[in-house]
Amino acid sequence: MKKLNNNRRNFLKVSAATGGGLLLGMTWLTSCEREVAIEEGTGFKMPPRPDMPDRWSEVNAFVKIGENGVVTIYSPNPEIGQNVKTSMPMIVAEELDVDWQNVVVEQAGLDTDNFNSQLAGGSQSIRKNWTILRQTGAAARYLLVAAAAESLGVPVAELRTEKGIIYHDASGKSLGYGEVASAAAGIEVPEDIQLKDPKDFTIIGQGKKNVDALEIVTGKAVYGIDLQAEGTLIAGIVHPPAFGMELKSFNADEVKQMPGIRHVVTIDAKPGGAEMQWSDVNAFPQLIAIVGDKTWQVFQAKKALKVEWTTTSAGEFSADHRKELKELIESGKADVARRDGDPEQAFEDADHIVEATYSAPFLPHNTMEPMNFFADVNGERALLNGPIQTPEYLRKTVSAVTGLAEEKVDIQLTRMGGGFGRRLYGNFGVEAALISKAIGGPVKLVYTREDDMTQGTYRPDYLVKYRAGLDAEGKLIAFHVRGAGTNGSPVFANRFPAGAVENYLAENLSRESNISTGAWRAPKSNFIAGAEQAFLDEVAEAAGKDPIDFRLELFDRAIADPVGEKNDYDAERYAGVLKEVRVKSGWDESGNQHRGVAAYYCHNSYVAQVLDLSLKNNRPQVDRVVCAVDCGIVVNPEGAVNQIEGGIIDGIGHALYGALTFADGKPEQENYNTYRLIRHAEAPKKIETHFVDNGIAPTGLGEPSLPPIMGALANAMYKATGKRVYDQPFANPTLRG
Amino acid sequence: MPTYQLKVNGQPREVEATSETPLLWILRDDLNLVGTKYGCGIGSCGACTVHLDGVAMRSCQTPVGKLAESGQAVTTIEGLSDDGSHPVQRAWLEHDVPQCGYCQSGQIMSAVSLLQNSPQPSDAEIDAGMSGNICRCGTYVRIHAAVKTAAKLQANS
Ligand code: FES
Ligand code: FES
């Protein structure tokens, strides 16, 4: 928190160079000229790109203005496909009061002096930066108006702005931002800056196209894996084939004779004594690196290398994982995370008890762009560039393992081919830095898909057992959740239905493993939401109630007279999305579709979904999903809908097909021929998204639509087949191990 | 290493490589045409899709030696249009399809090929034609709509 204050002053000040000093000397090879506007006759028109000015004035760390009025806004946070590179600058542009068509967005590098929390994770980019971005835009606007007041010799109060122009209505005079930008630089920023009334927003709340869309569809968008600079060699890694193994020895004689191969070195990404960060989750720190001229040559050499591995801890099997988790649930000693009332007594008093156990396997992230990073490290400094969700932590670890001071480690950010949590763990960046240091020149490390899928850091496997006690009227009087997982329990003790049930017990169990695990899109929620929502469906059925009515009764209780004080959620907003989805899906007029409902709260946002399913040749086909979302103010509705759709498709895909299994510590799937991801024909035919408009400051959007859809799917599958599904992946339980 | 003569985006290009080197890496490493992406290397994801004589192919499964022998002309995403004006690209922009964007070059190349074969594809034809391309971000609903829009744009032009 202290840090935030510090930064708050900094970003308001006029800053020196942004966008990273050290890397400015590096010349990246680009394939083509950038961008041209589109002219065409039918329907949609891409707005023309503004002409670039000759001279820029830096107004603050986020904003520079050209003499022709074109505005560059730096997007500080890593872009993994969640579209913050469009939505964060929109917030600055709103308060700056410029025409969005005159805005050019650039990705900022890591700059902890000027930017706050440059991290992509937990769906927090917008939530954590909402106020800061608004203040930044408003502060820049103030400086420009003050400069105009001086130049026109009139009081600030007599001036107004609109779309990048400052008007003095009394005299009919006006000045463009570009005309006063250079004079604005010396002006002091006042303590209190007036922000717009959200009623007056003209950019926030309007659908804006992805700022990189044209580059993407023309193949010009540059990802980390695309970076090429003069003299850069390609590096590949060879890691142990199984968790529990380590490098013993290798013979590189043959490989060194292969075309284009220059170096074969070993690296240690976790050397003893170096301070590590939470993001350094990595089962295989000791690696062999092969460095050569071309990617294909390096990939071939990786396959040809002769290596001996040694077993340091027992290799695990998926079938045992499941058994162990089951045993834990049945007889393990649990940590009590929350207890309300007297659950044991209430279960004894219950007229009827419903009990069910749910499970899900390990999942790899499978970002479409495999892990990679560019690094150029020498005794003086380290230059890094590539896809990373946690640049600040990567810098710390690179500093620790290279012995360079943190200020000597420069990190630039590329657009990323997906994140889903995988790029929170920057081992590939550390590896690239160490390889570059070892060979004394710039390298681009590229993982093969097989490296990417077999190297960790996975969503762990989970198992959870629920019990619900109903009285004779079908009222929920007791609720018990007992969850277990590899390297941690999936249970959130203070989430619904905690607070809505008099007698409640939440317990956690965990088993340890040598398989590295970590956050995966909507951590823990990505399993527990589906389990809980499927269980509530079963309980509602046992109570003889409509599943939406049943949940709304519980929310009524949590609103009127909540049990306990630590409930994470706002029951009114929760009930609100459920009511909205009931109306929008036509729930009460359901015909003969097989229909499932679910609602969940995570990442500070509320989502309810109704999923319609039919069986085609005995295979589930999702015909329609209707989704109601309460994430407060929606900054960019167009991008927001895309995120919601993506989360839904991602959730359905993984619930139906996703599973990584292990035999003797070795992942049994390593590429898309054996690991199944959802494909075009399997996606829902239709997704309708409705936002609840409540004017509350924005909350998370990249994750919240994924968790509940797994429950809605399970509930619809029950309607379609008459059989409840408990174990993911639903479409192939035998893969479960 | 042998040299090969290729035709890429209308230009003659000469590359030096072993004959089994996949076209994907020739494009990316030798010709600096990095719009064609690497996703799996085994023909399972479609990220590397290019056109050989106008037909969608997996460049990761196309050895440069065989390609040179066949004399087929290569078109990559960069060769589709310079400015995003191809109807499929326009449709993609209109529907704001990309999330991370990494799969989209391949999706677009597959869609162009699909529309060449069936200018007014049915839903089932779009499903079949586009299911070789994985989108990990889940933009399938938008891709589906964009293919339909592209069909209209193409018919009108
Ligand atoms: S990279 Fe060629 S199909 Fe995946
Ligand atoms: S947009 Fe990210 S993989 Fe398709």
What would the pLDDT profile of A293-321 be if each residue is shown by its tens digit?
999 999 999 999 999 999 999 999 999 99
Choose the residue to mutate in B23, B25, B44, B133 for probing ligand 1, maximizing ligand atoms within 8 Å of C-beta: B44
Q: What share of chain A has pLDDT > 90, as a percent?
A: 81
Estimate the crossing angle of helix A706-721 against helix A525-543, to 10 degrees. 40
Are the beta carbons of A262 and A442 closer than 8 angstroms? no
Name the residue range of residue B144's domain: 87-155
Instruction: Let me know whether B10 and B72 are in one domain.
Output: yes
Chain B: nearest CA to A207, how far in angstroms? 10
In-domain check, residue A268: yes
Report the amino acid identity of residue A508: N
pLDDT at A168 over 80: yes
Q: What dihedral do alpha carbons A669, A672, A673, A674 form, nearest 10°? A: 30
Range of the domain at A208: 2-217
Give the domain-ending residue among B59, B79, B99. B79
Pair (B21, B47) in one structural domain:
yes
Substitution candidate for ligand 1 out of B26, B34, B48, B77 with most atoms within 8 A of CB: B48
CB atoms closer than 10 angstroms to residue A272: 5
B19 and B66 inside one domain: yes
Q: Shortest Cα distance from A631 to chain B (angstroms)?
A: 19
CATH number at residue B94: 1.10.150.120
Q: Which chain B residues in 5-24 lie under 8 Å from chain A, judged by CB atoms?
A: 17-18, 21-22
> Quick check: B80 and B89 in contact, CB under 8 A?
yes
Written as one letter, the residue type at A366 is N
Is residue A570 domain-resident? yes
pLDDT tens for A520-555 read: 999 999 999 999 999 999 999 999 999 999 999 999
At position A271, the amino acid (one-letter code) is P
| Gyration radius of chain A's alpha carbons | 27
Whether B12 and B66 share a structural domain: yes
Interval A10-38 mean pLDDT:
39
Is the same domain home to B54 and B13? yes
Terminal-to-terminal C-alpha distance of chain B: 46
Greatest mean pLDDT among A109-123, A486-500, A690-704 lies in: A486-500
Asked if residue A256 belongs to a domain, the reply is yes
Domain with residue A38: its CATH number is 3.30.365.10
Looking at the fold, whether B7 and B75 belong to one and the same domain comes out as yes
Same domain, B75 and B95: no
Indicate whether A61 and A160 sit together in one domain: yes
Residues A379 and A359 placed together within one structural domain of the fold: no
Statement to judge: residues A556 and A610 lie in one domain = yes
Q: Are residues B11 and B55 in the same domain?
A: yes
**Residue A9 binned pLDDT confidence (cut-offs 50, 70, 90):** very low
Residues 6+ apart with CB under 8 A from B90: A38, A40, A42, A44, A46, B84, B150, B153
Distance A292 CA to ligand 1 centre (A): 22
pLDDT bucket at A46, cuts 50 / 70 / 90: low
Task: Compute the average pLDDT of residues B29-35.
Answer: 97
Q: Please state the ipTM of this predicted complex.
A: 0.98
> Which of the pair, A244 or A736, is modelled with greater confidence?
A244
Q: What is the pLDDT of residues B90-131, one digit of tens each?
A: 999 999 999 999 999 999 999 999 999 999 999 999 999 999
pLDDT in tens, A625-650: 999 999 999 999 999 999 999 999 99
Q: How many CB atoms lie within 10 A of CB A695?
A: 8
Chosen domain end from B61, B79, B97: B79
From B79, B114, B145, the end of a domain falls on B79
- The pLDDT value recorded for residue A36 is 36
Residue A327 lies in a domain: no
The answer to whether residue A75 scores a pLDDT higher than 70 is: yes
Domain's final residue, options A403, A426, A446 = A446
If asked whether residues A353 and A264 sit together in one domain, one would say: no
Judged by CB atoms closer than 8 Å, whether chains meet at A687 and B41 is answered as: no
Q: Does residue A45 belong to the interface with chain B, where contact is any CB pair within 8 Å? A: no
Domain count along chain B: 2
Distance from CA of B120 to the nearest CA of A (A): 17
**A661 and A712 housed in the same domain:** yes
- Inform me whether the C-beta atom of residue B96 falls under 8 Å from chain A C-beta atoms: yes
End residue of a domain, out of A217, A242, A257: A217
Kindly report the backbone phi and psi dihedral angles of residue A470, in degrees, each rounded to the nearest multiple of 5, phi listed first: -110, 145
Number of domains in chain A: 3
pLDDT at A6: 30
A200 and A248 both lie in a single domain? no
The two three-digit tokens of residue A391, written as one number: 């640049």
pLDDT of A42 strictly over 80? no
Judge whether residue A28 has pLDDT over 90.
Answer: no
Do residues A584 and A701 both lie within one domain?
yes
CA distance A573 to A631: 10
The answer, yes or no, to whether residue A105 has pLDDT greater than 70, is yes
Residue B36's CATH number: 3.10.20.30
The confidence score (pLDDT) of residue A239 equals 97
